[in-house]
A and B are shown apart, each in its own frame.
Chain A
Amino acid sequence: RKEVEQDPGPFNVPEGATVAFNCTYSNSASQSFFWYRQDCRKEPKLLMSVYSSGNEDGRFTAQLNRASQYISLLIRDSKLSDSATYLCVVNIPTSGTYKYIFGTGTRLKVLA
């Protein structure tokens, strides 16, 4: 089983739609969780951290379910500019330090 799994998509949605992505992780010792956005041929940019109580930033809502070991990202009122690949990232402690594991990413295309 992969450490972090995502549906690769693509998700094709019309402008204004609401879309949700899920991500599952296998290591129960994972401490921190993030959603990153990556545009084609660019580096990933932090979209938001994911907190246990759930958190919202404008049109974006992130949720964490530790019991089921998954996180989610909800995008409301999709814009054309939201088209990108969304990466689920999990921070895992290892050998006295920590590392980040990326999911494969979910491609989103918002259509006019």
Chain B
Amino acid sequence: GAVVSQHPSWVICKSGTSVKIECRSLDFQATTMFWYRQFPKQSLMLMATSNEGSKATYEQGVEKDKFLINHASLTLSTLTVTSAHPEDSSFYICSASRRPGVSYEQYFGPGTRLTVT
């Protein structure tokens, strides 16, 4: 149990275009989903926390108008990178957490490697 999928696994896009990444919890309901970014040889940096049915909470320094997050259901959250630029190239990973009280552990998707040319 506790499987999280992410789609696509990798994407190459041209500068100026938008890219949507999906994160799904396959066998559990995720009240909260998290989006991270990881640059080479660095740790995961939390971008935003997404609670189902409410607006995402963005970390300091993350542009909410550039990284649009939607958490429409208990099993799906999407991250849209708008007007992508080469510096947005990174490994984007989502994670999902069950309802508090059941478990605080988070389960990660396999990640999406974005390359902007």
Contacts and interface: CB of A to CB of B under 8 A. Distances in A.
Secondary structure class of chain B's binding surface, majority of residues: strand
B114 to A, nearest CB: 13
Given A43-B93, A97-B32, A102 B111 contact: no
Interface residues of B, number: 24
Contacts of A103: 43
Interface string B92-117: 01010000100011111111010000
A73 B43 CA distance: 18
Contacts of B62: none
Secondary structure class of chain A's binding surface, majority of residues: strand
B49 interface: yes
A87 B111 CA distance: 16
B57 interface: yes
A90 B108 CA distance: 15
A101 B105 CA distance: 12
B67 interface: no
Most buried by A among B104, B109, B113: B104
In this complex, the interface size class of chain A, counting residues with CB under 8 Å from chain B, is 20 to 34
Nearest to B49: A99
Interface of B: 32, 34, 36, 42-46, 49, 51, 57, 91, 93, 95, 100, 104-111, 113
Contacts of A66: none
Contact of B105 (A46, A94, A99): A46
A74 B45 CA distance: 25
Given A31-B104, A95-B57, A87 B51 contact: no
A99 B46 contact: yes
A33 B107 CA distance: 14
